[in-house]
Amino acid sequence: MATDDLRRLEAQALEQLQQCSDEAALRAWNTHYFGDNGLMKAAFGKLKEIPKEQKAAFGAEANRVKAALTEAYEKALAAAKERALQISLTTNPLDVTLPGRMPRRGRLHPATQILRQIYAIFADLGFQIYRTREVETDAMNFEYLNMPAHHPARDMWDTFFTTTPNVVLRTHTSPGQIHVMRAAAGRPIRVILPGMCYRNEAISTRSEIQFYQVEGLVVGEGVTMADLKGTITAFARRMFGPDRQVRIRSSYFPFTEPSIEVDIDWPHDDPNRDRLTKGTGWLEILGAGMVHPNVLRAGGYDPQKVTGFAFGMGPQRMLMLQHAIDDIRLFWQNDLRFLQQF
């Protein structure tokens, strides 16, 4: 190789450079000439084969060609970048005077909203909130609630059993009563226990297999049925307003004696009233009663000294009553057309 070859290489490189139309082509050109296996590197490699007297001239020429090509490349690269910018500005013009797009605001799920409403009312009535587990032992869900093994009342709750013997998904929040009593260790109690419950029952417009309950428990000296009635009616007035009717019926639960159930009348102007209330005009929102002496004992309280009342309510049923919602399944379907209305 001689200095002539270097000049030919230079001419050829410059010509190819001119044909590069964009940044990617320029970078490929650069690799072709200046990469590790590039032609310029190869040219410098030839230096050791050049006769001694020509070495200096060859070396100087190689350095000149390298500098010239590098300069030409950098100029071409800057020009290509500028061209690309101009193209993007003219083909995709940005109008900075356009109004911005508002991000869509999220909101609380209706089930969370109704729970918070319930918490606020009971907080005003002096109740504390206490949470207990969703996976329970058979003993907590049934036995300590006055339902020994094989008690027929266990059939009131279609239970999801786990693969671990004697461990179930809680069918109601009532086992929380035992947890609270044991934690309070003899002191007076006034709490609500919100949480998810699970039942293996037929899904319908009013019943889901997974639903919220809010349990209430008050234990102390001289607590009576009149306190229960007063608490429930005060709550219902706050929740549904003074015009809605509250109906209290006698009922049966193994863990309360006496037991009651409470219904609210469905909005009269709703065309679905008959269908959703099975023709009665009422929807049940809770079960309640005076805590059974056996349950007080299981919680470590002496039924000779204290009495108590308890209730278990369905918040989703209450939201249905407030807004004449015709299907409880809407809660967990995640249909934005439903959720956005709250």
**Nearest-approach distance from CB 193 to ligand FA5, in angstroms:** 10
Do 17 and 75 meet the contact criterion of CB atoms below 8 Å apart?
no
3-state helix, strand, coil in the chain (%, to 5): 45, 20, 35
Helix/strand/coil for 260: strand
Residue 231 binds ligand FA5 (CB under 6 A): no
Of 110 and 289, the one with the shorter C-beta distance to ligand FA5 is: 289
Do 228 and 311 meet the contact criterion of CB atoms below 8 Å apart?
yes
Q: Of residues 312, 320, 325, 330, which one binds ligand FA5 by CB under 6 A? A: 312
Q: Of residues 9, 168, 310, 330, which one binds ligand FA5 by CB under 6 A? A: 310
Q: Which residue is nearest to ligand FA5 (CB)?
A: 314
**Nearest-approach distance from CB 107 to ligand FA5, in angstroms:** 23
Residue 134 binds ligand FA5 (CB under 6 A): no
Q: Of residues 141, 256, 294, 307, which one binds ligand FA5 by CB under 6 A? A: 256
Q: Of residues 20, 80, 288, 319, which one binds ligand FA5 by CB under 6 A? A: 288
Residue 299 binds ligand FA5 (CB under 6 A): no
**Nearest-approach distance from CB 125 to ligand FA5, in angstroms:** 17
Q: Which distant-in-sequence residues (6+ apart) come within 8 Å of 145 by Cβ?
A: 174, 175, 177, 178, 254, 255, 295, 298
Measured CA to CA, the distance from residue 296 to residue 308 in angstroms comes to 8
Q: How many residues bind ligand FA5 (CB under 6 A)?
A: 26
151: left (phi over 0), alpha (psi -120 to 50) or beta: beta
Rounded to whole angstroms, what are the CA distances from 67 to 34, 64, 76, 77, 302? 11, 5, 14, 15, 99
Residue 207 binds ligand FA5 (CB under 6 A): yes
One-character DSSP codes across 113-164: HHHHHHHHHHHHTTPEE----SEEEHHHHTGGGT--TT-GGGGGS---B-SS
**Nearest-approach distance from CB 301 to ligand FA5, in angstroms:** 16
Q: Of residues 33, 294, 314, 321, which one binds ligand FA5 by CB under 6 A? A: 314
Q: Of residues 194, 195, 254, 289, which one binds ligand FA5 by CB under 6 A? A: 289
**Nearest-approach distance from CB 327 to ligand FA5, in angstroms:** 12
**Nearest-approach distance from CB 328 to ligand FA5, in angstroms:** 6
> Which residue type, as a one-letter code, is found at position 96?
V
One-character DSSP codes across 6-60: HHHHHHHHHHHHHH--SHHHHHHHHHHHHSTT-HHHHHHHGGGGS-HHHHHHHHH
- What's the burial of 323, exposed, middle or buried (CB within 10 Å: 0-12/13-18/19+)? middle
Residue 201 binds ligand FA5 (CB under 6 A): yes
> How many beta carbons lie within 10 A of that of residue 144, not counting itself?
24
**Nearest-approach distance from CB 181 to ligand FA5, in angstroms:** 13
Residue 194 binds ligand FA5 (CB under 6 A): no
Q: Of residues 69, 286, 295, 330, which one binds ligand FA5 by CB under 6 A? A: 286
Of 69 and 328, the one with the shorter C-beta distance to ligand FA5 is: 328
Residue 287 binds ligand FA5 (CB under 6 A): yes
Of 30 and 316, the one with the shorter C-beta distance to ligand FA5 is: 316
Binding site for ligand FA5 (CB under 6 A): 172, 174, 199, 201, 207-208, 211, 213, 215, 253, 256, 259, 284-289, 310-314, 316-317, 328
